[in-house]
Each structure stands twice: as C-alpha cells, then as structure tokens.
Amino acid sequence: MTPILQIRDLQVSYYTDLGRATALNKVNLDLNSGEKLGLVGESGSGKSTMALAMMRMIKPPGRIEGGSVTVGGVDLMQLSDEEMRMSRLSRIAYIPQGAMNSLNPVMRIGAQMIDAVRAHVPDMSKEEMTERCMQSLESVDLKRNVFSMYAHELSGGMKQRVCIAIGILLKPQVIIADEPTSALDVVTQRQVMETIDRVQKEIGTAVILIGHDMGLMAQFVDKVAVMYAGRLTEVSTVRDMFTNPMHPYAQALIKSLPNLSNKGVFQGIPGLAPSLLRIPSGCAFHPRCEKAMDICKTDVPAVERYDGDRLVACHLYAERA
C-alpha cells in the first residue's frame, strides 16, 4: 500500500538578522490512510514549522528550501499558488488551537463554514452547503443551532469542535491538528481527542497530532514521532515508544513522564534545547546525551529502520542496522 502522505527531504529555514536558522532539516515521513501519528518534541523543535510547511504556509522570513510533500500522489510543492489554495482543506486540512482566537469574532459560525465550502465547490447550492455544514457540526457533537451563533457565545471546547468541524468539511486525506487541546481543561481535552478519534474513523483520513502531552497522546495515536532541533529522531508505534524507546532523547522524554514507579519524582532532561541558529555538529542531541560517543560530535546519524517499522537516527544502534 502506498502511503497517503509522503514527506521527503523537507527543509525549512528562517532568515533572521542573526543568520539562517534551520527549522526543519531534511525530514522524511510516511503516513498511511487511517493512521494517526503523534508528533512530539520540545517547543522550538520544529513541530509547528513542519505543519506549516506541509500546508505551504511558511511566511517570510521563513522559506521552504526543498523537499516534497506528496498527498495522494500529488506533490504539493509542485502546485501553483492557486492549486495549493484549492488543496488546502480539500486535500490537507489544518486544525488550529481553536480555543483561543481562530474564529472570526464578527461572522456567524455558519458563514465561516460556508465560505470555506464555497471556496472549493463554488457551484454547490446554498441548501446543500448549509446541510453539509450542519452535518459536520453534528458529527463533532455540536447542536445545529451553533451554525447561527458567534464565537464569543461558545465555550473553549465548543470552539475547538467548530475548528474540527471546519477541518473535516471537505473530507481531506490528511488532517494536521496543531495542539488542539492546549488551553482546554482536562475533561474537555479528552472529549476533543475522542471527537477527533471518531471523525477520523468515519472519514478514514490520516491524522497528524501535534502536541507535547505525551500521556494524552499515547491514548489516541498509533505511532509517535519525536522531533529534536528540526530533525526526526525516532518514529515508533505507541507501544514500542513507551515500553522500549531507542533514541536517548526519546528515552529521556519517556523517563520525564510521571508514572507509578517513579512516584512523582520529576526527572527533567539536563541541558537546554539548542538554538536553531547554532545547531550542534553531528547529532544535535549529543551535548545533552549521556551515551554520546566521539562519532556523535562529527557525523549526523542517518535514519535507519529497526525491528520492522521503527525508524531511529542514532549511532548507538549502527551495528544492528
């Protein structure tokens, strides 16, 4: 089966007064239809940049330097601006942190859904559009009357659901949800995640879930991808990632999660995340890595496949590859 989403050598830089910051460094990723991937990492590791690059929404001073993002056989990077605009929402959709300010305060929710449909299927009748939007609202557990409400009349969780409803309007093949649960309370977080889970099953798309709450993510995704300094360090199934993480950074991340055995003794990762302007040579993680070897300071570890479908970029396992 060919993966619905194929990312190859995707590279993004930001040109600042202080020099070029590499925010995304030759990232490769595959995702099958119906698969859910959690993308985790510290802030500044490049998660959001990756989402924006896939939508081709990197704004100056940022620039996509190269690579391809293929969705259902179409390379988004090769499309014209107008074709890309038509692909947003219909091929690949982005769900923002809706709890805050993602909805236009002066337009009714319905109008903000209908304009999205009209932008892609202009010849659909008004009744049909309305019906499609209503159904979409219902499928995220919202009442039909939300259609004629304004954003300020909704709670944070409801606004997030509206954003999800907009994201699934055109049944895209890939959905990227960028920290959809931040700024929500714990109960609502769970409900929102369950909603995403259900609509994903209904329309069978691939989902990329960006976040840093590993605990919440573990309950909903199939695979977890760990990013560090603009590179993917490990991509494994949830079970493998939590029981037997391979990359030392992934190990540190898992160890830092509170669990029953360490009884709330919080273990952080020593050192600071590197500045994207000065990424350490070799493996970017080596200054903070307990198991660093000489080769780690000089050579960038290649992503290798282990145990069937685990992808890890670390010199420790070089002989096992």
Partner 1 sequence: MKLRLILRRVAFLIMVVWAASTITFFIPRMSDRNPIRERFAELARTGGFSASDLEVIVASYNKKFGLDKPLWEQYVDYIGSVARLDLGVSLNRFPKTVMEIIYESLPWTIVLLFVSAILSFVIGNLLGAVAAWPKSPAWMRSVATPFIMFMGVPPVLLAIFLLFFLAFRLKLFPLGQAYSTGIAPDWSLSFVMNVAWHQVLPAVSMILGSVGGWVLSMRGMGVTIQGEDYVNFAEHKGLSGRTIFRDYYLRNALLPQVTGFALALGSLITSGAVVESLYALPGLGQKLSQAIQANDFLVIYGIVLFITMSVATLMVLVEFLYPLLDPRIKQD
Partner 2 sequence: MTTATTIAPPIQPSRWKLLAGYLRRNKSLAIGLGIIFFLVLFTLHGFFAVDEARAYPLKAKPKQPPGILDFSSPEWPGKLPMGSDFFGRDMHAAMVKGMWQTALIGVIAGALGTFIGVVLGFTSAYFGGLFDTIVKGICQILTPIPVFMIQIIIAASLDKRDVTIFTMAGIVVMLAWMGPTLVIRSQVLSMKERQFVSVAKLSGVGNGGVIFGEILPNLLPFIAAAFVSQVFNGVFSSFYLAIVGLGPLREPLLGNIIWAAQSQGAFFNGWWWWPIWPASAMVLILSALALINMGLDELANPRIRRTE
| Residue 280 partner contact from partner 2, partner 1, none using kind-dependent CB cut-offs of 5 to 8 Å | partner 2
The set of residues, in sequence order, having a beta carbon less than 8 Å from that of 18 and lying 6+ positions away, is 277
Parallel, antiparallel or unpaired: strands 310-312 and 304-306: antiparallel
Q: Which of 133, 142, 166, 226 binds partner 1 (CB under 8 A)?
A: 166
The set of residues, in sequence order, having a beta carbon less than 8 Å from that of 152 and lying 6+ positions away, is 105
Tokens 């995304």 map to which residue? 24
Minimum distance, C-beta of residue 25 to partner 2, in the bound complex (Å)? 18
Q: Which stretch binds partner 1 (CB under 8 A): 3-11, 83-91, 209-217, 227-235?
A: 83-91
Minimum distance, C-beta of residue 113 to partner 1, in the bound complex (Å)? 9
| Residue 311 partner contact from partner 2, partner 1, none using kind-dependent CB cut-offs of 5 to 8 Å | none
Q: Which of 85, 132, 171, 212 binds partner 1 (CB under 8 A)?
A: 85
| Residue 102 partner contact from partner 2, partner 1, none using kind-dependent CB cut-offs of 5 to 8 Å | partner 1
Minimum distance, C-beta of residue 281 to partner 2, in the bound complex (Å)? 6
- Running DSSP on this structure, what letter comes out for residue 293? -
Q: Using CB under 8 A as the criterion, what x/- string covers residues 89-128 for binding partner 1? A: xx--xx-xx--xxxxxxxx-------xx--xx--------
Rank residues 71 and 166 by Cβ distance to partner 1 and give the closer one. Answer: 166
| Residue 100 partner contact from partner 1, partner 2, none using kind-dependent CB cut-offs of 5 to 8 Å | partner 1
Q: What DSSP assignment string belongs to 109-146? A: HHHHHHHHHHHH-TTS-HHHHHHHHHHHHHHTT--GGG
Rank residues 34 and 280 by Cβ distance to partner 2 and give the closer one. Answer: 280
CA proximity to 219, closest of 191, 258, 261: 191
Rank residues 101 and 244 by Cβ distance to partner 1 and give the closer one. Answer: 101
For residue 146, the Cα-to-chain-centroid distance in whole angstroms is 27
| Residue 189 partner contact from partner 2, partner 1, none using kind-dependent CB cut-offs of 5 to 8 Å | none
Buried/exposed code over 125-161 (b: 16+ C-beta within 10 A; e: otherwise): eeeebbebbbebbebbbbeeebbebebeebebbbbbb
Rank residues 32 and 102 by Cβ distance to partner 1 and give the closer one. Answer: 102
Give the number of C-alpha atoms closer than 13 A to the C-alpha of residue 22, restricted to the C-beta side: 18
Minimum distance, C-beta of residue 298 to partner 1, in the bound complex (Å)? 40
Residues 256-285, interacting with partner 2 (CB under 8 A): 280-281
Minimum distance, C-beta of residue 163 to partner 1, in the bound complex (Å)? 7
Cβ-based burial of 229 (10 A; exposed 0-12, middle 13-18, buried ≥19): buried
Q: Which of 239, 255, 297, 320 binds partner 2 (CB under 8 A)?
A: 297
Q: Using CB under 8 A as the criterion, what x/- string covers residues 132-161 for binding partner 1? A: ------------------x-x---------
- By CB under 8 A, how many residues form the interface with partner 1? 28
Q: Would you say 146 and 98 are in contact if contact means Cβ atoms under 8 Å apart?
A: no
Structure tokens at 298: 């000089």
d(CA 210, CA 21): 21
SS3 39: strand
Residues that bind partner 2 (CB under 8 A): 280-281, 287, 297
